[in-house]
Each structure stands twice: as C-alpha cells, then as structure tokens.
Structure 1
Amino acid sequence: MITGTDFVVVPTKDFARAVTFYGDTLELTPGIRYGDHPGAEFETGDLTLAVMDLEFFGGPACGPSGPIAFRVDDVAEARAALERKGVVFTGDIVDSGVCHQAFFADPDGNPLILHHRYVPRTS
C-alpha cells in the first residue's frame, strides 16, 4: 500500500529564521515556497523537508519533530563546517559500531543528526 515517503514536516514558530537555517546554514536546496504563507520545502537528495508554521495552516501547535538524520560523507568534516557557522552540537561524535553520528538541533529545537554509515547493510 505505501510506496514511499513524499516529505517530512518540520514545525517552526519563526519561519524566517527556519528558512535561513535550512537554506543558508545547512545549504539545502530550496524547493517550493507556499506563496506568502509560512511554508517552504527544502530538498535533501532523497527526502523533502516541508518547513511550516503549522498553526498558520490550521494544524495543531506542536513541539519539535522527531530526529531527522542527514547522510554525509564525513561526520567530523560536516560537523566542523556547521560549527564554523555557529551550529552547536550535543556531545561528541558517536561511533555506534556501524555508523558515526553527531547530534544538534535547529533554532526551534527540532533534533537533527549528521550520519554516516560505514558498515554495509545486510539483508
């Protein structure tokens, strides 16, 4: 029945700040803007992030979303680049035995992860 994932909603209470973070800080490719409404899409390569002020669209006010893990080639290098832009990370880089991860959040507190899997998946 389900054939894929079209997008993930990232809630924000400060739309302009969120657009700057996802577009300029994370350098994600901007997609569709919702006209004059506080909603915009950003492309990650395989998943669209719909950054929205949900209350404006009649949705429930909600807190941060669940974590979104961004695939990168080198977690340490990506982390250093974002730290130079003022992004603050929580703790050290984690080595789980199959991947490296670094945890941070967007300005609304939505949890984000830099992720690189170095052990191939098995079926």
Structure 2
Amino acid sequence: MEARAADFVHYTVTDFERAVSFYRDTIGLTLESEDAEMGWAEFALPTTTLTLGRANPQVPVTPGGGGVSIALSVDDVEAAVEEFREAGMTVLMDAIETGVCDMAMVGDPDDNPILLHRRHDGTCGRTNPFP
C-alpha cells in the first residue's frame, strides 16, 4: 500500500447542527456540502478538507479524545485492508462502498483510527485547494 495524500480530517460530533454552526459561523470555514439527514458536512480547509459527522455505528469513532481520524487515499481499499490483516493490525471497519467512494477503517499500532479511502472519480487530496 502507498498512501497518495490526506483526503480529509474528520471529527465525530455529538450535536451535528451545533458543530456545523461553530465551524461555519465561529471559525469561519466555508461550508462546501452538507447532508443533515445523514449527519455529514464538509468544509474547505486548504490544503485539505474538514468533515463533521454525527456518531454512526458504521464509523466506530467517538467524539472527544478518540474522535479524530485521518483519511488516506489509497488505490484499492479492500487490498489495503487485507495488508493490514496480514500484518496483524486491527481492522475497525471493513470496506464499504458509498455513492462517491470506497472506505474502510484500520487501527495504527495504538489503534488510532485511519480511514482508507478511494474516490470513485480517481482524485485524491483537495481537488481545489484554494476555493
């Protein structure tokens, strides 16, 4: 596996609407997309993206001390997960497919979460780092 870029940094939040308001209105980040029903928001944070998400059983990260994960772009999420399994590392979430990407979550040696991510359009990192 070779990580190509950091696609985004993610915070799991307990109050989605309050968090969106804070990052948009208090911090002044540009809200690029929001899916309130799903509990997902994306903010421009050159040269990456900050995402917020409502606590979700599919993404086993909790707010606070363990609530941050980095998403690393990889060419093949399932193959990367298998490499982690073969190395005896923890797989926190098996690969799933969404409408725009494939992703899985693995743990580093201290079980800090790392999201393995591949966009369907083949891009990685911020596609427009200076909105």
Q: RCO higher in 1 or 2 (8 Å CA, sep ≥ 6)?
A: 2
TM-score by length of 1: 0.47
Question: Which structure's residues are more often strand, by fraction?
Answer: 2
Bigger radius of gyration: 1
TM-score (norm 2): 0.45
